[in-house]
Chain A
Amino acid sequence: MYKNQAAGEGAVRPALEAVHLTRRFGSFTAVDAISFSVLPGTIFGLLGPNGAGKSTTIKMLTTLLLPTAGTGRVNGFDIVRQSVDVRRVIGYVPQMVSADGNLTAFENLLIFAKLYGIPRAERRERIMEVLAFMGLSDMAGVLVRKFSGGMIRRLEIAQSILHLPPVLFLDEPTVGLDPVVRRSVWDHIFTLNTEFGVTILLTTHYMEEAEELCQQVAIMHQGRVVTLGAPADLKATAGVTTLDEAFAHFTGSSIQEGGTYRDAARARRTARRLG
């Protein structure tokens, strides 16, 4: 499995950077010239209500969507000019359910092992390793459509680390999960980071999630990064005791009010599928 990548670190280069990253859909600006940089081994949270532009940001950094302006780098590779190199060093768990329900857990992983060119001799062992790591060993041969929401999420994370990427993108990893299951997913994310030094960018609109997991957060609002820093520092700056209040302080609105009808419908749909 992973060896810790933080060990023997030389000159520290950001694992992840966004430089005036911008995406417009027609005349609508979904992501508005955002910049941030994430050091290796950090869990970085993009925090904001539905429609803030979090997923769009992830899609650009994972090379799924071309930026309208600005750029980004992942492990030093430019997301526009070196997109293939970027794809080799990232793992990605989309916001939606992305494990194939009509395949078993093992088969879901097998297909990706082959896509990522993991040599035949290592495939089986690697698959069983990531399944064990995510606590899914007994479920290897079960069709994913019989899985619970939490198990699906864990399988998706297992799939995303199959090729041992140094950088991981998790889009709303616990949306629609109940609190106990959410905590188990947090534990796994946390272990990936602390034991193996994986750099993780996750998006969330849950304040507890950001407080619990992230060393650094960027608060996004209507496509902009409003403020950026360690959760404790943000709270101190705002002179408040919770991240919720800090969010209100920096954006002038409550996180619960965010998003359009379409965003809400989409979030619920996702939640139902994960439920």
Chain B
Amino acid sequence: MTPHERAVPHAAWVRSHYLTGFVYQCLAIAEADVRKLRHDPTELVTRAVQPTLWLLVFGQVMGRLREVPTGSLSYRDFMAPGILAQSVLFISIFYGISIIWERDMGILQKFIASPAPRVALVLGKALAAGVRGLTQAVIIYFLALVIGINVRMGIMSILGVLLSTILGAAIFSTFSMIVACLVKTRERMMGIGQVLTMPLFFASNAIYPLALMPAWLQAIAKINPLSYQVDLLRALMIEGSQSAFGIGVDLTVQLAVLAALIGLAARLYPRIVA
């Protein structure tokens, strides 16, 4: 068999199993990242510091104040899902740096010169960010149990929280990849990430309810995908809490945003190697 003939059955296989092939390709990209984390898990430890401080220090102190109107929930119960969303946001918003790094190395060039569709390359990376997000969920659950936050322990609730975490990480990491494809350098990417995180965080319902905000901030918070992420997490995670927007709305908004971002990122992706 000639190499050319050899290549054809694969092409045929890829065509006839388009969807399976697509899923495999996404998973392959995500797998690379997970394997790297396994070889060097120090990152997971350093990533645990921030949420721990927020929950233990900020949460305890603010909880004493009893000034934030969190309805039937205690302040710590109210903020725990917000801190999960926040730490996932912090990881994801800088995720674009990793593709710039891979571009600088020449790794990304080979991915882009492979027959994998661009959407699969982007979705695979988003999924990898999701896996990093999951490690944050594990940390937050652990802390929540230690300090006695009222988390729902049902299997469906936990599964729901984990899937929502992946969704949130996918949204913000894809956004970050889009920025990376536009700005192309690590330094600029760092700058933009730093400029964006805090406004996204504060203009959301993560650590105080929307009702506390002035009208202009409420308006911004309502177009901030992070608010829908927090709302969904809070409803799924905390005993006795209810979604403010409705779980259907939370999901629809986030999936629509993700689809739009993935589409855009897939179009821009080849630019990063140009």
Residues of chain A touching chain B, judged by Cβ–Cβ distance below 8 Å, are: 2-5, 7-8, 59, 62-65, 75, 84-85, 87-90, 92, 94-100, 102-103, 107, 110-112, 114-119, 143, 159-160, 163-166, 196-198
Contact = CB atoms under 8 A, between A and B. Distances in A.
B4 A114 contact: no
Given A94-B106, A116-B10, A117-B10, 13 more contacts: A3-B1, A3-B6, A64-B112, A89-B4, A94-B110, A95-B106, A100-B36, A100-B102, A114-B25, A114-B28, A115-B111, A117-B24, A197-B2
Given A103-B36, A114-B27, A119-B13, A165 B7 contact: yes
A102 B29 CA distance: 14
B28 A62 contact: no
Interface class of chain B by DSSP: helix
Interface of B: 1-4, 6-7, 10-11, 13-14, 17, 21, 24-25, 27-29, 31-32, 35-36, 39-40, 102, 104-107, 109-116, 270, 273-274
A153 to B, nearest CB: 12
Cβ-closest 5 pairs across A and B: A96-B106, A98-B106, A114-B28, A5-B2, A94-B106
A88 B10 contact: yes
A118 B24 CA distance: 10
Nearest to B17: A117
12 contacts: A65-B274, A87-B115, A88-B14, A94-B110, A98-B107, A98-B110, A103-B36, A107-B32, A107-B35, A114-B24, A114-B27, A117-B13
Contact of A100 (B1, B14, B107, B274): B107
A90 B4 CA distance: 10
Given A75-B4, A98-B107, A98-B109, A115 B35 contact: no
B154 to A, nearest CB: 35
A164 B270 contact: no
Given A103-B36, A107-B35, A166 B25 contact: no
Given A5-B2, A90-B113, A164 B36 contact: no
Nearest to B11: A88
Contact of B114 (A2, A99, A112, A143): A112
Given A3-B1, A64-B273, A94-B106, A100 B7 contact: no
Contacts of A198: 3
B2 A7 contact: yes
Given A64-B109, A165-B3, A102 B115 contact: no
Contacts, number: 120
B115 A118 contact: no
A5 B32 CA distance: 32
Contacts of B39: 102-103, 143
Nearest to B25: A115
Given A64-B274, A94-B106, A114-B31, A3 B112 contact: no
A94 B111 CA distance: 11
Contacts of A85: 11
Nearest to B124: A115
Contacts of B1: 3
Contacts of B35: 103, 107
A29 to B, nearest CB: 16
A117 B20 CA distance: 10
Contact of A89 (B7, B102, B107): B7
Contacts of A8: 2
A165 B14 CA distance: 15
A271 B122 CA distance: 31
